[in-house]
């Protein structure tokens, strides 16, 4: 056993990091400033793939592929342990009228992914509610979505059942406790907490938190807004994406449509302008949504980072301080692999993939 680890952040990254470490015998405390899973992990769409995987570096691809393979068994394990089903829902994904379709297909051939062109008449037969204004499509089978609020609920419940894990919600971390150049705990609104190691998994707030120890971490909030409709359970059989906007079906007929990309600091206020824009995209993709009930409109804050590559590993010059943050638009996609990699590094195990592209000591000046 390593001893005691404090994980700062109760989103999917923090919860899965805690689960990985606790399963290996580590004593873990998770500290969350509000309620677990209520920030970006709750607000996102839950597609278990980057929106445009061919536009990302191999660093993101490596994490995504490992996670995509792992998600079905993660969902089954959490359902068995907690009775809460994260609903890893395999629907496949259609991309419509891509400008870089050739690059997408070349990437798929290189990576061995099942992405191929599909005639539009076949697309309309497979996805009857799709709008008529689209000319070309490519499709990747096997792409799933996860019902992210239920995923974080299941992870929370699983951790609460582990005797070596404690969870402190509505407890804000105000800074780090330093000793001999290292980090030996955190200062919170409820007092100091000592630990052998501290993992920062605070999403969009990670950069602000690390500024308190003089570390400039290029992670910043990027606002995204979503809308939610309720339709019949069989309304949309597959995910569809066009012009940067997507529609995601849940098993019970809820349809998520997103999302915006806004640099507005930590403001999470939904706006009428975004609502109009999202509705226009929704009705172009799926015209029947104009007659459906809109049951939600919200905003969340993604942890923006350079090239969308997360920071995973120990912080140089601050022994005991570790990072697992900066996943930008792909936190849910990359979470299983990111958290496994972090645990491998902390436990001294053979890492699942090359850790160098994510290493803070190689990326922070």
- Among candidates 128, 330, 144, 335, which has minimal Cα distance to 249? 144
- CB within 8 Å of 206: residues ≥ 6 apart: 9, 200, 217, 219, 303, 323, 325, 326
Q: Which residues contact 112 (CB under 8 A, 6 or more apart)?
A: none
Structure tokens at 230: 């309720």
Beta strands in 191-345 (DSSP E): 191-194, 197-200, 220-230, 239-242, 245-249, 254-258, 293-304, 311-314, 321-325
Q: How far is CA 10 from the centre of its chain?
A: 13
Domains and CATH numbers, the chain: 4-53+149-219+306-363 (3.50.50.60), 93-141+220-304 (3.30.9.10)
**What pLDDT, on a 0 to 100 scale, did the predictor assign at position 300?**
97
Stretches where the chain sits below pLDDT 70 are: 1-2, 365
Q: Is the peptide bond before 259 cis (omega within 30 degrees of 0)?
A: yes
Model pLDDT, residue 213: 84
Q: What's the pLDDT tens digit per position in 156-206?
A: 999 999 999 999 999 999 999 999 989 999 999 899 999 999 999 999 999
Cβ–Cβ under 8 Å, residues 7 and 28: yes
Q: For the sheet containing 197-200, what is the strand order?
A: 165-168, 27-31, 4-8, 197-200, 321-325, 311-314
Q: What is the pLDDT of residue 254?
A: 98
Residue 191 burial by CB count (10 A; 0-12/13-18/19+): exposed, middle or buried?
exposed
The whole-number pLDDT of residue 296 equals: 98
**Interhelix angle for 58-82 vs 331-347, to 10°?**
90
Tokens of 217: 């971490």
pLDDT of residue 272: 98
Helix-helix angle 12-23:148-160, to 10 degrees: 30
What's the pLDDT at 90?
97
Q: What three-state secondary structure class fits 71? A: helix
Q: Report which of 127, 63, 130, 66 is spatially closest to residue 92, judged by C-alpha positions.
A: 127
This prediction has a pTM of 0.97
* pLDDT tens digits along 33-90: 999 999 999 999 999 999 999 999 999 999 999 999 999 999 999 999 999 999 999 9
Distances (CA, A) of 324 to 3, 203, 210, 250, 328: 19, 9, 12, 29, 12
Whole-number Cα distances in Å, 88 to 84, 92, 255, 276: 12, 12, 15, 30
On whether the CB atoms of residues 97 and 136 are closer than 8 A, the answer is yes
Strand order in the sheet with 137-140: 115-118, 137-140, 93-96, 239-242, 245-249, 254-258, 220-230, 293-304
CA 58 vs. chain centroid, Å, equals: 18
Measured between alpha carbons, how far is 156 from 8 in angstroms, rounded to an integer? 14
| pLDDT recorded at residue 9 | 98
Predicted confidence at residue 1, as pLDDT, reads 41
Contact 8, 198 (CB under 8 A): yes
- Kindly state the DSSP code that residue 351 receives in the 8-state scheme: P
Both tokens assigned to 246: 């997507």
């Amino acid at each position: 056993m390593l001893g005691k680890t404090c994980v700062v952040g109760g989103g999917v990254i923090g919860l899965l990091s805690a689960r990985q470490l606790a399963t290996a015998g580590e004593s873990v405390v998770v500290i969350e400033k509000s309620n677990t899973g209520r920030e970006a992990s709750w607000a996102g769409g839950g597609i278990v793939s980057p929106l445009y995987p061919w536009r990302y570096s191999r660093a993101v691809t490596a994490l995504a592929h490992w996670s995509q393979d792992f998600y079905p068994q993660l969902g089954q394990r959490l359902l068995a342990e907690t009775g809460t089903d994260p609903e890893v829902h395999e629907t496949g994904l259609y991309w419509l009228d891509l400008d870089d379709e050739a690059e997408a297909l070349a990437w798929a051939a290189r990576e061995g992914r099942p992405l191929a062109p599909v005639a539009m008449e076949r697309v309309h037969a497979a996805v009857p509610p799709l709008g008529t204004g689209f000319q070309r499509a490519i499709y990747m089978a096997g792409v799933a979505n996860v019902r992210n609020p239920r995923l974080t609920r299941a992870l929370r419940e699983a951790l609460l059942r582990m005797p070596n894990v404690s969870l402190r919600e509505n407890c804000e971390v105000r800074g780090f406790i330093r000793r001999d150049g290292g980090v030996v705990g955190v200062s919170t609104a409820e007092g100091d907490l000592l630990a052998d190691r501290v993992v920062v998994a605070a999403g969009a707030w990670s950069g602000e938190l690390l500024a308190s120890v003089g570390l400039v971490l290029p992670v910043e909030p990027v606002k995204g807004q979503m809308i939610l409709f309720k339709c019949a359970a069989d309304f949309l059989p597959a995910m569809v994406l066009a012009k940067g906007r997507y529609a995601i079906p849940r098993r019970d007929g809820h349809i998520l449509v997103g999302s915006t990309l806004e640099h507005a600091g930590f403001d999470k206020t939904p706006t009428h302008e975004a609502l109009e824009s999202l509705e226009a995209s929704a009705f172009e993709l799926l015209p029947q949504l104009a007659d459906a009930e809109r049951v939600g409109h919200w905003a969340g804050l993604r942890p923006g980072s350079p090239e969308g590559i997360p920071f995973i590993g120990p912080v140089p010059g601050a022994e005991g301080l570790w990072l697992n943050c900066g996943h930008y638009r792909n936190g849910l996609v990359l979470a299983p692999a990111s958290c496994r990699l972090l645990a491998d590094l902390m436990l001294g195990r053979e890492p699942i993939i090359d850790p160098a592209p994510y290493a803070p000591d190689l990326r922070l000046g």
